Amino acid sequence: MQEAVAALRLAKAHHSWREANQGVTNSVARVNQLAGAFDRIRYYISLMSIPNFTRAGERAVQTETERQLTLAAIALKRFQMRQGKLPPSLEALVPELLPTVPYDYMSAKPLIYRLKADGSYVLYSVGEDGKDDGGDPIPPPGAPPGLWGCRDAVWPSPANGPSEAPK
């Protein structure tokens, strides 16, 4: 299990989630291999904790990425209120509004931000697969609803007026 903990620390050290998760997967496979029929009792606690441990690491990385998205969205709004327009890039928010460019733990790169022609923006993480789908918020068939069920984890855009208000 110590190998799994070390693998999760890779995400904190600015490695991508796919790389860190691969280390966890390798560690889990090793525990399962060691826990053969004769040694199953010896590794009983480790085997019981694997599902929770794996999910906790995944959720921690998701939450930290959500935090970075939230900080970026707040800073974008503050910039827009001060300057009357959105910034050309996330780098424009540093150091006045943010200490560093918001980070995507899924890709080990900065979050992706793009201005749209209508004056709005798209802000997103590449999601758990580590693949940039261009800010695609549509979930693949059979995926669970929510931010992490989509191809990319896209920050929700606010409604612009009554035409977009829920009915």
Which tens digit of pLDDT belongs to each residue from 49-83? Answer: 777 777 888 898 999 999 999 999 999 999 999 99
Q: How is residue 129 written in tokens?
A: 């697969």
Rounded to 10 degrees, the C-alpha dihedral 88/89/92/93 comes to 120
8 versus 78: which is more confidently predicted? 78
β-pair type (109-110, 153-154)? unpaired
Q: How confident is the model at residue 159 (pLDDT cuts 50, 70, 90)?
A: low
What is the maximum alpha-carbon separation in the chain? Answer: 69
Q: How confident is the model at residue 162 (pLDDT cuts 50, 70, 90)?
A: very low
CB atoms within 10 A of CB 68: 21
66 Cβ neighbours under 8 A, 6+ residues apart: 147, 153
pLDDT at 160 over 60: no
Query: Please, what is the angle between helix 44-83 and helix 17-34, to 10°?
Result: 170
pLDDT at 46 over 80: no
Q: How confident is the model at residue 96 (pLDDT cuts 50, 70, 90)?
A: very high
Q: 113-132: b or e for each residue (b if 16 or more CB lie within 10 Å)?
A: beeeeeeebbbbbbbbebeb
**pLDDT, tens digit, 9 for 90 and up, residues 103-147:** 999 999 999 999 999 999 999 999 988 899 999 888 888 888 888
What pTM, to 2 d.p., does this model score? 0.80
- For residue 110, the cross-strand partners are 103
